[in-house]
Structure 1
Amino acid sequence: MRRYFIALICLFLLVLQGMAMSLLPSNLVYSDLLMTPHWILGFLILIAIFYDRDDTYYSVWHALLFGLLVDVVYTGVLGVYMVTYGIVTYIIHRLNQSVHAGLVSASLLTIVGIALADTILYIIYSFVSITSMTWGNYAWLRLLPTLAANMIFFILLYPLVKDRISSWSEDINNA
């Protein structure tokens, strides 16, 4: 039953992610700054760090599934988030093998993962002419606010789920 908790939490975050902008003050929402909540990705990065072992890829499979759901629910282009989330969680999974799992390394891997995902999304959307934002404007008006907003979410999420995810991982590996 515990293995379904990851999917249920991702589903819950999918719903919350859609309501995220309505929770912010209107002067921030209607400003030039663009923030994209990548809450599912942030949680999946924690799964890649604290749940997956060297030979398991639960985070990647969940990233592919919930990336596709993000595409279906929130975007008009299928496969963009699915591929992006899958690639990023795979990279984080591989990077995690060379660092010790802790708050600092998890924070750095989350920053790298979200920055990489948002940059890949920007490149894809630029390539298919969905966005025409210049690189400088993107970095200043979208990437930095997105990183800041998602790191606030990560700081709130980390103490709530870190120990629980680690115990789930031990339960799966001992079974």
Structure 2
Amino acid sequence: MNRFFLPLLLFLFFTLESIFVQLLPTEFFYGKWILVPRFLMVVLLLLAIYGSQKYAILYGFAFGLLFDIVYTEIIGVYLFLLPLTIYFVMKAMKVLQTNILVVAITVMAGISLLEMVIYKLNHFLHITNLTFSEFSQARLLPVICLNLLFLVLAFYPLKQYFEKLAEQESLL
């Protein structure tokens, strides 16, 4: 049962992202802000920092492919961007301390990197016509605020679970 809990937990956060978008009224912020929950990415980054880096990368690939299949028109964008972002955050955390403030800043930097690369790709493919300034005000800042709130709420239970998971894995 224990080995099935992590994939189910990740799938729960994958599903919660779309439920959150469906439940949030579109006129909530007068249409000025685009709120994109990246709950799964936050959880994967915490898994990479406090748990198994190998599992974080593997689940990044798996859920990236699932995300591409379900939500995007181009297969491969999230398939490569999720594990790549996880990899960059893992490398940064090797030289940084793992206190909550540094972890929060690093996780938000990873989400910002993901959002900016997706924006640049959409801009290059003429899917969006927002300038970078408009993008950062309408989407990037709200995404960081929303996911930071989620990180603050979910940090402690996820940290405890991932540390316990890493400890059990090291005993095997």
Give the alignment's TM-score, normalised by structure 2. 0.93
Q: Deviations over 1:45-89 (max 9, x none)?
A: 00010013xxx5221111111011111112222111111111100
Q: Percent identity?
A: 26
Distance 2:93 2:133 in 1: 30
- Equivalent position of 2:88 in the other structure: 91
Distance 1:101 1:2 in 2: 26
Distance 1:29 1:118 in 2: 20
Distance 1:89 1:3 in 2: 21
What are structure 1's unaligned runs of at least 5 residues?
Answer: none
- Equivalent position of 1:130 in the other structure: 127
- Would the aligned equivalents of 1:2 and 1:168 in 2 still touch at CA under 8 Å? no
Counterpart of 1:38 in structure 2: which amino acid? R
- Equivalent position of 1:165 in the other structure: 162
- Equivalent position of 1:8 in the other structure: 8
- Alignment RMSD (CA, Å): 1.5
How far is 1:95 from its partner? 1.0
1:148 aligns with 2:109: no
How far is 1:5 from its partner? 2.4
1:80 aligns with 2:77: yes
Q: Deviations over 1:87-110 (max 9, x none)?
A: 100101111111222211210111
Give the aligned length.
172
Give the alignment's TM-score, normalised by structure 1. 0.92
- Equivalent position of 2:112 in the other structure: 115
- Equivalent position of 2:27 in the other structure: 27
